[in-house]
Structure 1
Amino acid sequence: MISCLPAGGGLSLEVDSIKVARRIFGSRISRAILRRFLEPDPSGARTRLEHVLSMLAQRDKDKENMSFSCILDYYFSKLLFGAALKFMHIKREEFEQGISDPAIRRGIELVLRSLLSYGVTVPQKLAAPFLVVWNFTNACNLKCVHCYQNAGPIPGPGELTSEERLEVIRQVDEMGIPLVALSGGEPTIHPDFLHVVEEGARRGIYMAVATNGIRFADEEFAKRAIEAGLRYVEVSLDSTKPEEHDGFRGVKGAWELAVKGIRNVVKYGGGRVSVGIAATVTKLNKDCIEDMVRLGEELGVNRVVFFNFIPTGRGKEAMELDLTPEEREDVLRRIYREATRSSIQVVSTAPQLARVSWQMSGGEDVLPTHFTMPRSSTLKAVAEFVGGCGAGRIYMAIQPDGTVTPCVFMPIPVGNLRREKLKDIWENSKVINDLKDKDLLKEPCGSCEYRYVCGGCRARAYAYYGDYLAPDPGCLRGKLVRESRAEAMIAAGGG
């Protein structure tokens, strides 16, 4: 369904583009081709598509070792992808470089499986999540004021065993999920951390970690984690001032160790490991956006991520730290300015950034939540494909005891891996299926012309209203709509 927007107002996929995409992927021939490429591959690869993409990444090497069937698949796919790249204005060299990464190949396969299963939808419904965020343990060596997990010094009751953790990785691999991010608690202090990273990397999964950085301050640990196959390390850092960060994180000296950890990963990663800084934006640090980006530049990181404050876990006791809608709007505008200025990636988990970037650029630019991508004529379409808040749509979460939730910030159990398969939970959970449908959102999000690129943060809606389809209370546009409607009702009553 294409949203009908007022002139000069919001953002939607171009009607011609969506018609072309639906015509292509809805045809009987296209679907037959997709089905063939998504079949198990005789060579041992998960699918024919995975094998073909691997061959394309090698740029015509080893064709003499291919079977006749493989050669046909190879040349046909080369023509097919060539036409697709031309349509999307992507250079062939960039594509070939991208598909040399197994995680990128998984992502392409997931998109095509989703198109085969659901056709072209806005936002796109996925056959599996792109990302699983796994709260690896409830144990942590800090005492953060806002901890969504309410983590403590020891593991929680009933955490998964070592064997069960490996089974999680096996299920993720079986579903073709491209990325796993280990979080917590503090995942790096658990004895299974390196083993699970190694197993995920061996299977071609992009392994990431969200960490306080303290273990990475140990050079030997940093080297071992990189050797195990970590691809992305995101270190929490809430201020450029050590005393402010330490106060927020509850342990003196945490800032110095986090910065040392960042430096070690940058130093020993050798370009193989991306490094990010993650800052949770509150009233305490809302004026430090520009300083945080500059610190990231000085440290040599690849990206700075500004997280929404969500009052869940221990954060419920610190709701006074949350930004007003006006403050959040100002922060997002400054984040967008930094994103256009800086040589590193600057993103936010606040889905309203898509709307703000669209408005500030005069309709020329849009930054989808969590993602950064090169500016192109297809950027608007990609933004609606991604669809704003990814909870239960782009990603899902696993808790230390195997409980599955739509998001780490949304404590709604939708299943448990000790009783159910991850695939079955993804396909059958009512909550997950509700979150996939932006047309179920309640007012004012439900009628907002930006709902397909934003839709509000579902975790914030749940934290404030106990309803994951409720409006995001932090959105300035939503606040203005509510005030306007209230004034209209008062005026109508007075008349």
Structure 2
Amino acid sequence: MNRYMDDTDFNALNNHLVDVNGNEYSAKDYLVKFDEGMNKQIDRKMFPRSYEFPTGVQFELTYKCNHRCIHCYNQSGGNHEEKEMTLEQWKKLSHRLGELGIFQCVISGGEPTLLKESLFEIMDILDNYSVKFIFISNGLILNKEYVKKLSKYKYTWFQISIDGSRPELHNYVRGLDSWNQAINAANLIKRAGLPLVISHAVVKKNYDYLEEMIDMSYLLGARRIITGPFSYSGRALINGKELELSTDEKENVYEIVAKKSKEYKGRMEVIASAEEVIGLRIKQKDVNGVILIRPNGDVKIDCVAPFKIGNVLEEDIYSIWNRIGRNVWEHPRVVEYINSIHSSDDLRCVYPRINVDPDELLVNI
């Protein structure tokens, strides 16, 4: 554990983590046990110390979005000067990743359904290599015909974002009158037999309705709801004062999640999303197998950490991975960055600010 964490007293690491059975843990204790467990499995050769190629990838297929969420982690739908990759470039990359043997691809954006029929050309290629998908959508333009086409693929889960149990709550967060469309999308996904997951960001305005939101997710047929305080990145950093919960309110969110997780045990998973200060440290300790491709071809180490390691339009993805990607979480700059974050509040001032400042380029480890 000391390889990655300094001796600072991490106040944030005393926050709760809640497992699928509703059991609460000290985050710091969890990290210690996770680290010990990973080291034992690596020593027993159950896991390698690094993978020769990425096992999973997230595609941010477009900057475009038909929502303007006040908490959006990557400021989708705003003014982006970067040129997006063409369909042919995405298809070429998909073939390459399929050849390398990735197992899973997260389809996201922006809003991926804005690619319309072109989206299926990308997914068809990956599907031919037996890649499973996680699909992240706001559901705004999903209809029965489009969902039918999507249903031919294999999914780990299909995620619809619903940020309120009532229209006025969801619409406030999403910046658009879209609650009915989100509910309809969830129903369509469930009826198509796809593994529905609801994501729900807790902000000041919808905080009092969290239990109601969890209950509604069960009624919609969700297998899981992932919820917790909003992520301190992108537009949320800009609008933070309007959105943020007090320390007591955050603690109560985790208590509610623990209670509802036990209530719905065996019927629906109620999962608390980990705050960045925790999530980044978990990724440090895990065997890295995942990268993220931005709409302009930039390769990031994940959707939160503000570091890029190359661009697929300039260098082959396998070369980027073996040059730096496979061990990037051990990079001194990444370690320094994470050790400078002691609580979510630090993300306001630690540079680069996530999806506010330009990502920092890491050349070699």
Q: TM-score range by the shorter chain?
A: 0.7 to 0.9
- Amino acid paired to 1:424: S
Offset at residue 341 of structure 1 (A): 2.5
Q: Are positions 1:288 and 2:248 aligned together?
A: no
Deviation at 1:299, TM superposition (A): 0.6
Q: Which residue of 1 aligns with 2:133?
A: 207
How far the C-alpha of 1:281 sits from its partner, in A, is 1.9
Q: What residue number does 1:404 align with?
A: 299
* Alignment counterpart, residue 112 of structure 2, candidates 176, 187, 205: 187
Describe the superposition over 1:166-222 as per-residue Cα deviations: whole angstroms up to 9, x where unpaired: 122223223433211111111011142122122212211111211001222x11111
Q: Counterparts of 1:388 and 1:335 in 2: how far apart (Å)?
A: 23
Higher strand content, 1 or 2: 2
Q: CA deviation at 1:148?
A: 2.6
> What residue identity is the alignment partner of 1:259?
I
2:261 matched to 1:335? Answer: no
Seen in structure 2, the aligned counterparts of structure 1 residues 263 and 306 have a Cα distance that, compared at 3 Å, is same
Would the aligned equivalents of 2:162 and 2:179 in 1 still touch at CA under 8 Å? yes
Q: Which residue of 2 aligns with 1:256?
A: 180
How far, CA to CA, are the matches of 2:295 and 2:127 in structure 1? 20
Shift of 1:260: 0.5
What CA distance in whole angstroms lies between the structure 1 residues aligned with 2:275 and 2:268?
Answer: 20
Q: Residue 340 of structure 1 aligns to a residue in which SS?
A: helix
TM-score normalised over the length of structure 2: 0.75
Once residues 16 and 429 of structure 1 are traced to their aligned partners in structure 2, the CA distance between those partners, rounded to angstroms, is 25
Aligned residue in 1 for 2:122: 196
Aligned to 2:339: 442
Equivalent residue letter for 2:339: K
Match of 1:145 among 41, 66, 70: 70
Letter in 2 for 1:406: I
Mapped contact 2:34–2:285 kept (Cα < 8 A): no
In the alignment, which residue of structure 1 is the partner of 2:190? 266
Question: Within the alignment, does 1:241 sit opposite 2:166 as a pair?
Answer: yes
> What residue identity is the alignment partner of 2:69?
C
Match in the other structure for 1:10: 29
Q: 1:130: Cα distance to partner?
A: 4.6
Mapped partners of 2:286, 2:84: distance in 1: 23
CA distance in 2, matches of 1:186, 1:130: 24
| Aligned 8 A contact 1:266 1:275 in 2 | yes
Give 2:359's aligned residue. Answer: none
Asked if 1:429 corresponds to 2:324, the answer is yes
Tell me how far apart the structure 1 counterparts of residues 309 and 36 of structure 2 sit (CA, whole Å): 38
Alpha-carbon shift at residue 294 of structure 1 (Å): 0.9
How far apart in 2 are the matches of 1:15 and 1:278? 28
In structure 2, relative to structure 1, the CA distance for the partners of 1:413 and 1:349 (3 Å cut) is same
What amino acid maps onto 1:466 in structure 2?
Answer: Y
Which of 171, 185, 198 is 2:96 aligned to? Answer: 171
Question: Which residue is equivalent to 1:79?
Answer: none
1:466 maps onto 2:324 in alignment:
no
Higher RCO by CA contacts (8 Å cutoff, separation 6 or greater): 2
Task: Determine if contact 2:55/2:104 at 8 Å carries over to the other structure.
Answer: yes
Percent same amino acid at aligned positions?
A: 21
Aligned to 1:395: 290
2-structure distance, mates of 1:407, 1:421: 18
Q: Which runs of 5+ in 1 are unaligned?
A: 26-111, 119-124, 355-368, 371-385, 446-455, 470-495
- Matched letter for residue 405 of structure 1: K
Partner of 1:492: none
- Please report how far the alpha carbon of residue 255 of structure 1 lies from its aligned counterpart in structure 2 after TM superposition: 0.7
Distance verdict in 2 for CA 1:131–1:431, change over 3 Å: closer
Rounded Cα–Cα distance in structure 1 between residues aligned with 2:346 and 2:53: 24
Q: Which amino acid aligns with 1:338?
A: K
Q: TM-score, normalised by structure 1?
A: 0.57
- Could you tell me which residue of structure 1 aligns to residue 270 of structure 2? 346
2:146, 2:197 → 1: CA distance? Answer: 18
Q: 1:22 to 1:276 in 2, by over 3 A?
A: closer
From the superposition, tell whether residues 139 and 338 of structure 1 become closer, same or farther in structure 2 (CA, over 3 Å): same
Offset, 1:135:
1.1
Q: Report whether the alignment pairs 1:304 with 2:230.
A: no
Asked whether the 8 Å contact 1:137–1:159 carries over to 2, the reply is yes
Give the Cα–Cα distance (whole angstroms) in 1 for the partners of residues 258 and 316 of structure 2. Answer: 40
> How big is the shift at 1:262?
0.7
Aligned length: 326
Report if the CA contact (8 A) 2:140-2:182 is conserved: yes
Q: Kindly report the root-mean-square deviation, in angstroms, between the aligned alpha carbons of the 2 structures.
A: 3.9
- Which 5+ residue runs of structure 2 have no aligned equivalent? 4-25, 355-365
Deviation at 1:2, TM superposition (A): 8.6
The change in CA–CA distance for 1:339 and 1:126 in structure 2 (over 3 A counts) is: farther
Q: Which has the larger radius of gyration?
A: 1
Maintained 8 Å contact 1:200/1:207:
no
More helix by share: 1
Q: State the partner residue of 1:72.
A: none
CA distance in 1, matches of 2:39, 2:201: 40
TM alignment of 1:217-236, pairs within 5 A = 218-230=143-155, 232-236=157-161
